[in-house]
Amino acid sequence: MPTPPMRTARMLALTFMSMLVVLGVVVALSVPEADLTLPSAYVIGGQVAAGVVIFVLCSTIGFQVVPITPGTPPEQATREGLQRQQTSMFLRLVLSEVVAIASLALAFVLTDGQLMTYVIGAVVSLALMAFFAYPSARNIRRVEASLDSAGAPSRLAEEFGVGDGPTSTYNVL
C-alpha cells in the first residue's frame, strides 16, 4: 500500500498528465475540420528537438534541490525533504509540459495537421512526465541523494516507501 506522501505525489503527477488528454479533446472539438494529417517535418522536428532540450534540462536541473542542513532534527529534515521533493516534482512537471503547451498554440496557428500537431507534442510531454516527474523509486532516490548531499539524512525514500534510501540510489542511477 502506498504511503500518504506517495499517494499525494502520484495524484499530482497524474493530474498534470491527464490535463494533456483533456486539452487534446478540446483541440479536437474546437479546431475546424480537424483531421489526422501529419504536420510538416519542420514542426515534428521542432517538437522532437524541444523534447530533447527539456530532457537535458530535467536531467541537469530537475533533481537539484537544496540539501538538508546538517544538525537539522530528523522530523524537520523529513518535512523539509518532502517540501523540496514536491517543489522539484512541480518543476519537472512544468518543464515537461512545455512541448504540449507550445504544440497547443501551434495547433491553432497552423493550417494543416492541427490535431496531430497537438497529439505529437502531448505524447512527447507525457513521455517526459512519465520518465522525470512521476514519483518512481528512481526519481525519489535521485531527489533524496541531492537532499542528503550535505550529510544530513532526509529519509525521503523511507517516507515514500521505496526502499532504504541513498545506499541504493547509486544502483538505480
Q: Are 146 and 64 in contact (CB under 8 A)?
A: yes
Q: Is residue 33 part of a domain?
A: no
Q: Are 23 and 118 in contact (CB under 8 A)?
A: yes
**pTM (predicted TM-score):** 0.87
Range of the domain at 13: 4-27+39-168
Q: Is residue 144 part of a domain?
A: yes
Q: N- to C-terminal Cα distance for the chain?
A: 25
Per-residue pLDDT of the chain (173 residues; tens, 9 = 90+): 678 889 999 999 999 999 999 999 988 888 877 778 899 999 999 999 999 999 999 999 989 999 999 988 989 999 999 999 999 999 999 999 999 999 999 988 888 888 999 999 999 999 999 999 999 999 999 999 999 998 888 888 888 988 764 544 444 44
CB count in 10 Å sphere of residue 159: 20
Q: Report the Cα 3 to chain-centroid distance in Å.
A: 20
Grid coordinates standing for 151?
Answer: 550529510
Q: Are 121 and 102 in contact (CB under 8 A)?
A: yes
Q: Report the Cα 22 to chain-centroid distance in Å.
A: 17
User: Domain total for the chain?
Assistant: 1
Q: Is residue 75 part of a domain?
A: yes
Q: Are 27 and 34 in contact (CB under 8 A)?
A: yes
Q: Is residue 32 part of a domain?
A: no
